[in-house]
Structure 1
Amino acid sequence: MSLLQKNFTALIDPAVLRAHQKPILLTAALAAALTPLLAYIRSSYRAWLALGPGGIPHHFLGWLLQVGMRALARSDTREPLPRPYTRLEDVAAAYGPAGERSYFGYSGTTSLPARSGDRPAVPSFVVPQRQTSDKADAATVAREEAFLDALARANPRVFEARASRLEGPLHRALWLRLPREGSDEDEDDAGKNKQKQEELRIRLGRGAEGEFAHVHGEGSVHLTMSPGDAKTVIESGWGERHRLSGVLGTRGILPWGYVLVYAPRDEEEFGVLREIILAGARYASEGAGVEVVVPEE
């Protein structure tokens, strides 16, 4: 008998097996438990990668980061009012007079029509938030980005179009030109300017630095709206809140009105998206002292 055969025979000796029964059972149980977990991690990571880059590193550490965010993330993204609120006034109160208004109706639109069909699929990942069905084609995405550019050109004192801070340089964004402190300001003006900046940070979210809209590669749009207009968008089926919207209240990165607006599927829906973006632009610029000019397409 060879040395290998002798060693193998020793391993299957009943006495040896009994002596190592607990470690063997523990190892087998651990392997049985880890196998489905590892399969889930692999499947989840691949699905997350397929969404494309946006906001956090596009590799395994980014996936782990968004997993950690689930402790804070909300699941009521398709409910018109976030839990536990039952009155819009209570949600809007945090954003001052601007939060209590609706900014629809300036172009003949007083309400939104109900979106036809089912909502698109939006995976439960915290970041990035994307829809994975009913995607827009490249031409439609280009039109959306062109509309942001046109809105900035029509309102050069109020808006500018440039790369997104929230999602990264691959995404076109619309920014509000924030008031800046000047060396020639007197104490009273400086105080008012500082107060205005703080109000804007609360209204648009502390992580935005003035960014209030950006377009994603599949045609959906992230947009900051008044709480009432966000409620209208969700109720009529055009979008849903981000999972971090309203988290940490006025100290949070994203306000309650930060919504994902679904990609348009036809010309009529593109027109609705256009009105939704305009409502967000009016809300963002509230207090700027100028009326938002609607660009011609």
Structure 2
Amino acid sequence: METPTFHFLAVALTFALPVLTLFYIHADYKAFLSLGPGGTPATPLGYAKIKLLSLICLRDPLRPMAIPPHFRPQRGYLPSLPRREGSRPVVRGIAPQRQQTQKSSGDIYAALVEAMRRLIADPANYLLERTSCFEKNSSGIFASTPITRTCGGEVCHAHPSDGSMHMTLHPADAKIVLESGWGERHPLARGGWCRRFVPKEFVLIYAPRNKEEIETVIKIVAAGVWWVAGIDAEKKGASRRDSGADIKAFVRAKDAGCHTCSVHGCGTTGLEGSMAARA
């Protein structure tokens, strides 16, 4: 037989749980909006999509992916990286995925953009500057003629809101990045069905905090250029991955416009994106 106290608690929970759930959803939705523009519309429908995708996310973004025995090449571009000082930043979100701490200052982000544009300006690299094919709200580096499939040949893109970057790396290079503390895997970088969103080799590179860290981040960008474009942007004699290709094809593609895939689109805004909003 139910006691009056038990009956009261049951009724209280019946009314309290929906209210608490609504409060949680409201707070969680505001946290989603606070990440800023990204690959998912900042709408209730976009929020619902992200919550569904969170069910299949990587549980340990710091665990490197294994390199299959048949994978070619087995070795990546980076010999090593200096250990990143301090703790890792707090990272939140899926699409967008952003740093919540240890963000780049406006001056450091501007210097990062300048360094990226120097890579693009070098005609030997055959790179393009386009609006990110993955996020559509920030700009990035694209290969004129990619030899590794990514969205539209995108190598990387920078995030003006925090200074972090997303890019596609050879698994061996991604392993070095993770183990030296410079980044982590994207939550959806698990391959299979999730490849419709990002490549399995997709990583977040933490925002540089000073000019010395910009140099390291640009080395990682060069590894992304090597993997996607087959170009040694540092001119250090690394083996080309486009062996046998006619280099003139790169020149023709240089003015051919933006490569696109069936899921994402491209544009032409500058790398600095919404830098003015950071001032």
Aligned to 2:126: 158
Name structure 1 gaps, 5 residues minimum: 1-17, 83-87, 105-109, 180-195, 291-297
| 8 A contact 1:175–1:211 mirrored in 2 | yes
Please list, as runs of the form range in 1=range in 2, the aligned pairs for 1:1-297 lying within 5 A after superposition.
Answer: 28-79=12-63, 81-82=64-65, 88-90=66-68, 93=70, 96-98=71-73, 100-104=74-78, 110-123=79-92, 125-155=93-123, 158-168=126-136, 170-178=137-145, 200-201=148-149, 204=150, 208-217=151-160, 218-248=162-192, 251-286=195-230, 287-289=241-243
Q: AA paired with 2:82?
A: P
Name structure 2 gaps, 5 residues minimum: 231-240, 248-279
| 8 A contact 1:246–1:252 mirrored in 2 | no
| 8 A contact 1:112–1:272 mirrored in 2 | yes
Q: TM-score normalised to the size of structure 2?
A: 0.74
| 8 A contact 1:158–1:288 mirrored in 2 | no
Deviations 1:157-215 (A, max 9, x none): 631011112111x3111111237xxxxxxxxxxxxxxxx6xxx32xx3xxx12112000
Q: Relative to 1, partners in 2 of residues 1:159 and 1:288: Cα closer, same or farther, differing over 3 Å?
A: farther
- The CA RMSD measured in Å over matched residues stands at 2.6
Provide the aligned length of Structure 1 versus Structure 2: 230
Q: How far has the Cα of 1:33 moved from its partner? A: 0.9
| 8 A contact 2:57–2:188 mirrored in 1 | yes
Larger Rg: 1 or 2? 1
| 8 A contact 1:173–1:211 mirrored in 2 | yes
| 8 A contact 1:122–1:130 mirrored in 2 | yes
Q: TM-score normalised to the size of structure 1?
A: 0.70
2:56 counterpart SS class: coil
Q: How far has the Cα of 1:27 moved from its partner? A: 6.3
Q: How far has the Cα of 1:265 moved from its partner? A: 1.0
Q: Relative to 1, partners in 2 of residues 1:28 and 1:76: Cα closer, same or farther, differing over 3 Å?
A: same
What percentage of aligned pairs have identical amino acids? Answer: 33
Q: How far has the Cα of 1:119 moved from its partner? A: 0.2
Q: How far has the Cα of 1:249 moved from its partner? A: 6.6
- d(CA) in 1 for partners of 2:53, 2:60: 15
Q: AA paired with 1:33?
A: L
Aligned to 1:4: none
Q: AA paired with 2:145?
A: L
Moved over 6 A (4+): 24-27
- d(CA) in 2 for partners of 1:288, 1:89: 21
